[in-house]
Amino acid sequence: MIEIDGATKIFGDGADAFTALKDVSVTIDSNEFFTLLGPSGCGKTTLLRVIAGFIDPTHGTVQLDGENLLDLPPFKRPVNTVFQSYALFPHLTVAQNIAFGLEMLGKPKAEIKSTVEEMLELVKMAPLADRKTSEISGGQQQRVALARALAPRPKVLLLDEPLSALDFKLRKEMQLELKRLQHETGITFIFVTHDQEEALTMSDRIAVMNAGTIRQIGGPRDIYDHPAERFVADFIGDTNFLEAELISASGDTAQIKLSSGKEVQARANPDGANAPGTVTLAIRPEHATLGPAESGLLSGTLSDVVYFGTDTHYHVDVDEGGKFVVRRQNQPEQTQSHAAGDRVGLRFPGGVSQVLRD
C-alpha cells in the first residue's frame, strides 16, 4: 500500500545541518500492523510525519496505492494520526470528539450518527458517550482518540507512541486492544515506539531504525531470533555478546571456535557477512544453561543471582574475559541450585548463537 523510496530529510543548512533520515526505502503492505522501532532521535517520528504530510522530505518519494502523496496536503491524504498527547477537545463529550472530524468533512448527520455509534462500540466506550473527555481516564481518552482517528475510515492510521503515557498494566491491555482494532478494521497501522515489547507484541513486521536509517526489517520472531547486526541484537531483548573465530560457513550454518578453544555451530549471518576471521556471536540468555565448570563450552564464576519472580538471572564472569547472563524460568517449589561465588560452566546448543556483522 505504501512505498517509500530514498526518503531523506535534512534540517538546517551548512554546518548546522542535521540529517534525520538517510535514504530510507520501505514498502508497507495493505492491512498490515507495521512498527517503526528505535531509540529517541533515530528518525522514526520524522518518517511518520513525512507520511502524514506534516513535513516534506528533502529527497525521495512517498506513494500510497501508486499515488504520489507528496502532491497532497495533509488534510487531503487518506491518512489519520493518533498523537502521544491524544489532542482531544476537553469541553466536548466523547461522542462529540469522535464526530468532529466527520463534521469537518461535511458528512450527512445520519452517517455521522451511525459512524459514531459504530466507533463507540468498536472501542468499548458506548456507556461514556455523553461524558466530557476531561472527566475520563487516560486509557479511556486513548480509546476516544483512536475512535476519532478511525471514524473517517482512513486507508492508513499513524500512531506516534500513543501508549507511552499509560501505566504498565493499562499499556499491556491496550497493546492487545490495538491489535484487535487493526484486525477488525482492516486498516493499515503504522506504529512508532521505542518499546521493544510493544513492537514484538503487536507487529506483523518491524523496521528497526538507528541514526536515520533502517537497520533491519522482519517479523517479530525473525528480528528477535535472527538479528543481522549488533545494534539490532542489543536493542531487541537481552543479548550476550562473545568474541569468537569463524572457521567456516556453509549455507545457514557457521563453525565457530570460542575463546576457550572449544568449537560450536552457530547460525550464519542472514546478510551473508560470514568471512572467516574474528566475529561477534549473539546468544540470548534464555538459550543458555549452567552446569559443571569442567563440562561447559565456557567456564567462569557466578558473580550474582537475581530473582525476578517469573525467572532468575545468573551473572557469570567468564574466565577468558567478559560477562554472560543466563536466564532460567522459575518453577513452583524450585530450589536454588547455584549461589554467587560458584564455579559454573556455560552451555548452549549448536545453532542458537548468531553470527553478527558490526
- What is the CATH architecture assignment of 2-225? 3-Layer(aba) Sandwich (3.40)
**Cα(313)–Cα(240) distance, integer angstroms:** 12
Q: What average pLDDT does range 297-311 have in this prediction? A: 94
Is the Cβ–Cβ distance between 151 and 101 less than 8 Å?
yes
- Hey, what amino acid is at 190? I
Mean pLDDT of 312-318: 96
pLDDT digits (tens, 9 = 90+) for 78-128: 999 888 777 888 899 999 999 998 998 899 999 999 999 999 998 889 999
User: Average pLDDT, stretch 193-207?
Assistant: 93
Rounded to whole angstroms, the Cα distance separating 170 from 128 reads: 18
* pLDDT score recorded for residue 174: 82
pLDDT of 7 strictly over 90:
yes
Q: 94 phi and psi, to 5 degrees?
A: -55, -50
Identify the weakest region by mean pLDDT among 1-5, 31-35, 168-172. Answer: 168-172
Cβ-proximal residues to 147 (8 Å cutoff; 6+ apart), any chain? 98, 119, 120, 122, 123, 125
pTM score of the predicted model? 0.87
Distance, CA of 189 to CA of 182 (rounded, Å): 7
- pLDDT classification of 358: cutoffs 50, 70, 90: low
Backbone angles phi, psi at 188, to 5 degrees: -70, 125
Reported confidence tier of residue 172, pLDDT bands at 50, 70, 90 = confident
Cβ atoms within 10 Å of 132's Cβ, excluding its own: 16
Q: Is the pLDDT of residue 175 over 90?
A: no
Matching residue, cell 522482519: 218
Q: What tens digit of pLDDT does each residue of 260-295 get?
A: 999 999 999 877 767 888 999 999 999 999 999 998
pLDDT at 219 over 80: yes
Structure confidence by residue, pLDDT tens digits, 326-346: 999 998 877 777 899 999 999
30-39, 73-82, 328-337 — which one is most confidently predicted on average?
Answer: 30-39
DSSP 113: H
Looking at every residue in the chain, the average pLDDT score rounds to 91
Q: Is the dihedral of CA 232, 237, 240, 246 positive or negative?
A: negative
Q: Is the pLDDT of residue 56 over 90?
A: yes
DSSP class of residue 273 equals: -
Strand partners, 345: 291, 299
- The pLDDT of residue 112 is 93
Contact 257, 263 (CB under 8 A): yes
The three grid cell numbers given for residue 29, joined into one nine-digit string: 503492505
Per-residue pLDDT averaged across 55-59, rounded? Answer: 95
Residue 145 has pLDDT above 80, yes or no: yes
Contact 341, 215 (CB under 8 A): no
Give the CA-trace dihedral at 133, 134, 137, 140, to 10 degrees.
10
Helix (H) or strand (E) holding 60: strand 59-64
Q: Is the pLDDT of residue 209 over 90?
A: yes
pLDDT in tens, 237-246: 899 999 999 9
Report yes or no: 23 and 178 within 8 Å, Cβ to Cβ.
Answer: no
- Beta strands (DSSP E) in the chain are 2-11, 18-28, 33-37, 59-64, 67-68, 79-82, 156-160, 188-193, 205-210, 213-218, 240-250, 253-257, 263-267, 277-283, 289-291, 298-307, 311-318, 323-329, 343-347, 354-356
158, 74 Cβ separation under 8 angstroms: no
Q: Which residue has the cell 515489547?
A: 197
So what's the pLDDT on residue 138?
84
Please name every residue paired with 208 in a beta bridge, in sequence order, or none if there are none. Answer: 37, 216
**How many other β-carbons are positioned within 10 Å of the β-carbon of residue 253?**
16
Q: What percent of the chain has pLDDT over 90?
A: 66
Query: What residues does each domain of the chain span?
Result: 2-225, 230-356
Relative to beta strand 213-218, strand 240-250 is: unpaired
pLDDT exceeds cutoff 80 at 193: yes
Segment 200-225 shows an average pLDDT of 95
Q: Tell me the C-alpha distance between 342 and 292, whole Å.
A: 10
pLDDT at 165 over 80: no
Contacts of 153 (CB under 8 A, 6+ apart): 185, 187
How many Cβ atoms are within 10 Å of 27's Cβ, its own excluded? 13
**Domain 230-356 -> CATH class:** mainly beta
